[in-house]
Structure 1
């Protein structure tokens, strides 16, 4: 009986752990796949680059977890001396525009000293992209950075708004295996809902 009870306890532990592992693996896979979609052919010898970081609702002056992650991903996506970091987002949930919150984090917490532009007026992902276009349209290479499914939505909007610029899209470094793994399933669900919305808009 003791052996049987131990087997039951082991199964009761193993089943939830297996389910949790499956959910986390599903989130990793969807984020990995999204980071490689809606990209252009690239430019053989790019001279300039724009990295667009999409904002997330931020209630205070300090960057929250999501915006800190996005800024870090944006900074590590920069390549070459002629690169500019474009942070996007208006004052959606707080008094400070998301762009200002992310810019402070990039400068003060991450020590970023390179070129930086702020898009402070947008309240949606589409507006992030639309308002950033004048800042990025002269770049040879464009990277849209966020959590991977949200970045995919941004790239999809850019393709809808400016197909010529979408041809310059290359992959950023927002996806890393094992980084914020616990958050990726939630981001995947939210991202898929957002992508369906974009596709409905494109079909209308």
Structure 2
């Protein structure tokens, strides 16, 4: 019985490790997808952070993590940088963008911030961010990497001229936040599968 238990525990550990490795691969791959070729290093930069459903009254764990990704994606060599925080009051009374802005200030960020406080979906995040990023020579869309690439794809569909300025964010560090990475990779896989089914049905 003990031997069987050890075998089962070993199989479970192997399965968990396999899922974590798969999530790392998904993040590494998607962090480099749908990028542009016209970004200007050292120029004007906009870092767009996509929000996550948040009940408040303070930024939840996911949004705090995404803000940290956004802050570390800022290029210290940029001539100008602006942090663009996206998300309306989807899960509570206070817009996600406002909760994230408060957290960014708590983290010590003193640079310019602009908010999209109306959007309720990723597509709306991007649509509402467009007027806020048109003057940027480099655009970074930041979230969990499989989610960020969805945002970049929306920008390619809506404004390919701006999408050509897309550069990667710092959102795929090896070994970081494994539980969130697995969750994001699973959600992304479901999203892709749903899109494929919808395409077949059309």
TM-score by length of 2: 0.91
Deviations 1:82-137 (A, max 9, x none): 010000000001000000000000002x1100111011010110000000000001
Residue 141 of structure 2 aligns to a residue whose secondary structure is strand
Alignment gaps of 5+ in structure 1: none
Stretches of 4+ aligned residues off by more than 2 angstroms:
5-10, 42-46, 192-201
Bigger radius of gyration: 1
Contact 2:85-2:100 within 8 A present in 1 as well: yes
Distance 1:160 1:46 in 2: 26
Distance 1:121 1:9 in 2: 52
Residue 38 of structure 1 aligns to a residue whose secondary structure is coil
Kindly report the root-mean-square deviation, in angstroms, between the aligned alpha carbons of the 2 structures.
1.9
Q: Name the counterpart of 1:26.
A: 22
Q: Name the counterpart of 1:100.
A: 98
Give 1:76's match in structure 2, choosing from 72, 79, 90. 72
Alignment gaps of 5+ in structure 2: none
Shift of 1:12: 2.2
Deviations 1:59-84 (A, max 9, x none): 01211110000000000000124010
The reply to whether residue 63 of structure 1 matches residue 88 of structure 2 is no
Q: Name the counterpart of 1:147.
A: 144
Q: Name the counterpart of 1:36.
A: 32
Number of residue pairs matched by the alignment: 198
Q: Name the counterpart of 1:159.
A: 156
Distance 1:13 1:197 in 2: 33
Distance 1:114 1:188 in 2: 31
Distance 1:86 1:175 in 2: 20
Shift of 1:162: 0.3
TM-score by length of 1: 0.90
Distance 1:118 1:50 in 2: 12
